[in-house]
Amino acid sequence: DLTLGILGGGQLAQMLALAALPLGVRVTVLEPDAQAPARLCARHLHAPYTDAGGLEQLVACDAVTLEFENIPVEALAALEGRVPVRPAGALLARSKHRAREKQALREAGATTAPFEIIEAEGDLDGALARVGGRGILKTSELGYDGKGQARVNTDAELRAAWDDLNRVPCVLEGFVAFEREVSLAVARTPSGQVAFGPLVENVHRDGILRASVYPARVPDGTEALARDLARAVADAWALEGLITLEFFQLPGGDLLVNEVAPRVHNSGHLTQDGGGLSQFEAQVRAVLDLPLSDWAPLHPTAMLNVVGMDGPDGQPLEPDWAAIDAMSGTRVHLYHKAHRHGRKVGHVNLVAPDADTLRARLASLEPLVP
């Protein structure tokens, strides 16, 4: 009997826990909020796993993994002496900090958008021109779903944006005219097996992921390139566990790495219903050193995020659940989170027998989800 500790109790922990159960893996979630998805889930299942957390329960686990990156590196370091933590604190220290992440990506041989590190007033001088005249200022830490970012087109906008972000350490990135966004996950077990997830195409709206589609419509060779880059980062960063790389695909097919998540990723949710291994099972297997092979849907598969939306009258806009359930090939996943404008509260996966049918069904599904 294996036990997996998960740091964080959000929807990713909920889905990791649900993937662990059929493998006979017990789960302990460390999460202070009793209303968090993974803790609610534990309660409803009458606890084949523990939701109480606590340090003693964690260090008794066979391994500890994480579902969010904003964990103090010191806390991980304290755990690391007592239980295997996968991915390790050293990897997290890179992925949670944009400036360090970009530097470490370049050292691993990947290309990123041009960037300038902004830590003091003087760093602003000439920075926008050096990244190409148009850019996005991003806080180095704590940003997600496009929060902590501002698009800037002039030096005055850059200065105002840095003030708005409270002058915390930032990265100014050059604006990339990408053709599309794609992502790919790679897992590596402690005994050295490497496996890849599918290359997925992603569409964002207002900085938040709206939809993911598999297969991605990319030029020949792009998936192989994504795998090579993912493997290079996994090797250079001594990965144990699973990471997901977000890429900008340029018109010629080249890939820039945007950022790395030290875990399963929203774009990988479609693996739950495509017929293959899911990304959640892949992370559980990788972290516990269980046998692992590449995972990709067996059928064309898409995912549409359900994001809390307020209507013009301030009332929440509800998806048309009856119509969604009535559509062929849909499957709804909810996180049991209270409504808040802009907050991810669930997703709908969609499968189809071929890629054209999938795109057509996705086009019918989209208007049903505000």
**Residue 183 C-beta: closest distance to Mg ion, Å:** 9
Residue 207 interacts with ligand ATP (CB under 6 A): yes or no: yes
Q: Kindly determine how many residues on this chain lie close enough to bind ligand ATP according to the rule CB under 6 A.
A: 17
What kind and span of H or E run contains 234?
helix 222-236
Residue 67 interacts with ligand ATP (CB under 6 A): yes or no: no
Contact 286, 25 (CB under 8 A): no
Our CB check for Mg ion shows the closer of 39 and 265 to be: 265
**Residue 249 C-beta: closest distance to ligand ATP, Å:** 12
**Residue 175, binding choice from Mg ion, ligand ATP, none, Cβ under 5 to 8 Å by partner class:** ligand ATP
Residues 6 or more apart whose Cβ sits within 8 Å of residue 329: 350, 351, 352, 361
**Residue 113, binding choice from ligand ATP, Mg ion, none, Cβ under 5 to 8 Å by partner class:** ligand ATP
Choose the binding region for ligand ATP from 10-18, 81-89, 144-152, 303-311 (rule: CB under 6 A).
144-152
Our CB check for ligand ATP shows the closer of 136 and 348 to be: 136
Our CB check for ligand ATP shows the closer of 51 and 181 to be: 181
CA distance 73 to 365: 41
List the interface residues with ligand ATP, window 224-283 (CB under 6 A). 246, 258-259
Residue 173 interacts with ligand ATP (CB under 6 A): yes or no: yes
Helix (H, G, I), strand (E, B) or coil at 335: coil
Q: What angle do CA 175, 176, 180 make, to 5 degrees?
A: 140
List the interface residues with Mg ion, window 31-60 (CB under 5 A). none
Our CB check for ligand ATP shows the closer of 86 and 102 to be: 102
List the interface residues with Mg ion, window 229-248 (CB under 5 A). 246
Helix (H, G, I), strand (E, B) or coil at 127: helix
E strands within the chain? 2-7, 25-30, 63-66, 115-118, 135-139, 149-152, 170-174, 180-188, 194-196, 200-205, 208-214, 241-249, 255-261, 301-307, 330-334, 344-351
**Residue 170 C-beta: closest distance to Mg ion, Å:** 14
Indicate the length of the chain as a whole number: 370
**Residue 152 C-beta: closest distance to ligand ATP, Å:** 11
According to DSSP, the β-strands at 2-7 and 149-152 are unpaired
**Residue 51, binding choice from ligand ATP, Mg ion, none, Cβ under 5 to 8 Å by partner class:** none
Residues 6 or more apart whose Cβ sits within 8 Å of residue 115: 99, 102, 131, 171, 172, 173, 174
Q: What are phi and psi of 144, to 5 degrees?
A: -160, 160
Residue 145 interacts with ligand ATP (CB under 6 A): yes or no: yes
CA distance 51 to 35: 11
Residue 132 interacts with ligand ATP (CB under 6 A): yes or no: no
**Residue 62 C-beta: closest distance to ligand ATP, Å:** 29
Where along the sequence are the contacts to Mg ion (CB under 5 A)?
A: 246, 259
Where along the sequence are the contacts to ligand ATP (CB under 6 A)?
A: 113, 136, 138, 143-147, 173, 175-176, 181, 204, 207, 246, 258-259
